[in-house]
């Protein structure tokens, strides 16, 4: 039975779903990294695929941009399709001076200006955190790939174009590694549904230093991140 936003049948998704923001990126991942791939959903063009990475069944589906879009898809995958693990694979803007473009960031926690997790806790703060086992698996996979992952707190922003004065300075002063737009939503849904999640991100640009990546560099860091996410999925 399909959900309002996913046209797949029960059993169409693997236990683990990789989620890039862009649905066409989900197709690229399925075509290039998975075997025996089939499309399982295309409602609103939010494409989803299931295949195999080695012996491990893996699905990949777009999340769209922002906490509301991610929350809808993650909730339906966890509650209607028996998905146990979601690994977000995305990009982020560097905030901390310790972070460089092309770095891999594993979001141990996700701060946010969104009210979704406060809504869940009747107004109280919620520490939106990754699943520890998945976090460990991604960090180990990154190290095995020769990368030095940065592990810490990211900020899941509601506004890409944020008018707040000193916004990035405030985040930097609190040790935030990078800004993105989905992790706090994904972690909240995982907590609510008793499931597991982690976010692996590459730094596409640095919002404080202004450094950015070339198309080639983006492609290389994307490949490194995918290797990390898929190895963690197979773990």
Q: Catalytic site residues?
A: 205
- Binding of ligand HPA by 30 (CB under 6 A): no
- Binding of ligand HPA by 221 (CB under 6 A): no
Residue from 205, 208, 217, 227 binding ligand HPA (CB under 6 A):
205
- Binding of ligand HPA by 182 (CB under 6 A): no
Rounded CA separation 48/2 (Å): 13
Rounded CA separation 30/15 (Å): 16
Rounded CA separation 69/158 (Å): 12
Q: Following CA atoms 203, 207, 212, 215 in sequence, which dihedral angle do they give, to the nearest 10 degrees?
A: 60
Q: From residue 62, how far is each of 108, 141, 149 by CA, in Å?
A: 21, 23, 24
- Binding of ligand HPA by 92 (CB under 6 A): yes
How many CB atoms sit inside 10 A of residue 147's CB? 18
Q: How far is the CB of 207 from ligand HPA (least distance, A)?
A: 5
Structure tokens at 8: 């797949």
Q: How far is the CB of 92 from ligand HPA (least distance, A)?
A: 5
Nearer to ligand HPA, 51 or 94 (CB): 94
- Binding of ligand HPA by 91 (CB under 6 A): yes
Rounded CA separation 222/37 (Å): 20
Q: Which residues pair with 156 in a beta bridge?
A: 112, 180
Task: Name the residue whose CB lies closest to ligand HPA.
Answer: 93
Residue from 23, 64, 93, 188 binding ligand HPA (CB under 6 A):
93
Judged by CB under 6 A, which stretch of 6-14, 78-86, 137-145, 174-182 contacts ligand HPA? 174-182
Residues that bind ligand HPA (CB under 6 A): 91-93, 157, 160, 179-181, 204-205, 207
């Amino acid at each position: 039975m399909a959900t309002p936003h996913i046209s797949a049948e029960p059993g169409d998704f693997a236990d683990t779903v990789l989620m890039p923001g862009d649905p066409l990126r989900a197709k690229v991942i399925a075509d290039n990294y998975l075997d025996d791939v089939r499309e399982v959903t295309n409602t609103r063009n939010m494409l989803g695929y299931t295949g195999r990475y080695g012996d491990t069944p893996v699905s990949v589906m777009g999340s769209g941009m922002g906490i509301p879009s991610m929350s809808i898809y993650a909730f339906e995958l966890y509650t209607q399709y028996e998905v146990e693990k979601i690994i977000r694979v995305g990009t982020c803007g560097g905030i901390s001076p310790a972070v460089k473009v092309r770095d891999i960031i594993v979001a141990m926690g996700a701060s946010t200006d969104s009210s979704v997790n406060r809504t869940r806790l009747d107004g109280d703060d919620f520490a939106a955190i990754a699943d520890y086992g998945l976090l460990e698996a991604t960090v180990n996979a990154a190290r095995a790939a020769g990368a030095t992952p940065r592990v810490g707190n990211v900020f899941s922003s509601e506004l890409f174009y944020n008018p707040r004065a000193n916004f990035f300075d405030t985040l930097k002063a609190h040790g935030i590694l990078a800004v993105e737009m989905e992790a706090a939503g994904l972690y909240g849904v995982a907590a609510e549904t008793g499931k597991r999640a982690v976010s692996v991100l590459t730094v596409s640009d640095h919002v404080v230093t202004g450094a950015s990546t070339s198309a080639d560099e983006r492609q290389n860091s994307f490949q490194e991140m995918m290797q990390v996410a898929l190895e963690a999925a197979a773990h």
